[in-house]
Amino acid sequence: MNGRRLGNDGARSERTGSRRDCGDRHRRLGPRWLSDALLIVAVAGLAVLTMALVWWLAVFRSSVAADLRAPERVFGFFTITAGLDVLGVRFAAAGHPLPAAVLAGPAAILWLLLTYGVPASLLLARQRDSVLGGVNGSWLRGW
């Protein structure tokens, strides 16, 4: 190993041979206070979106059920899983494994339900020859 030690991420520091930890990476990429401020904004945003999702599920239950059956709209639900995962990874990178695990649990369950349940329900309940005609990647766009 030429006297070099491995850091938390398994990478060696080529200049000093010293160990790099997560905090050092944050300082290299930008101010730590900005990263922490954006984490707070993300947590607040998740709280607001979670409340909005619960309200939407309670008030517009039939509309949500219709969206889950519509091939052109159902894949947008994957953004919920993606958001939980992104915030969980940020918590893990900051050295907070408990919030990361708390977010990973629902994200994994939702991902499994969407990945296996949605295609199965679309194929079993299809009204036309192919469900792929209504599926496109437009939900990936942010606008």
Residue 68 has a pLDDT of 84
DSSP notation for the chain = -TTPPB-TTSPBPTTT-----HHHHHHHHS-HHHHHHHHHHHHHHHHHHHHHHHHHHHH-HHHHHHHHH-HHHHGGGHHHHHHHHHHHHHHHHTT-HHHHHHHHHHHHHHHHIIIIIHHHHHHHT-SSS-SGGG--SGGGS--
Residue 69 has a pLDDT of 80
Whether the model clears a pTM of 0.75, i.e. scores above it, the answer is no
Query: Which parts of the chain have pLDDT scores under 50?
Result: 1, 3, 7, 12-13, 17-20, 26-27, 142-143
Residue 87 has a pLDDT of 95
Residue 143 has a pLDDT of 42
Residue 124 has a pLDDT of 76
Residue 135 has a pLDDT of 59
Residue 133 has a pLDDT of 59
Residue 48 has a pLDDT of 95
Residue 117 has a pLDDT of 85
16-45 pLDDT, tens digit per residue, is 544 445 555 544 667 888 888 999 999 999
Residue 134 has a pLDDT of 58
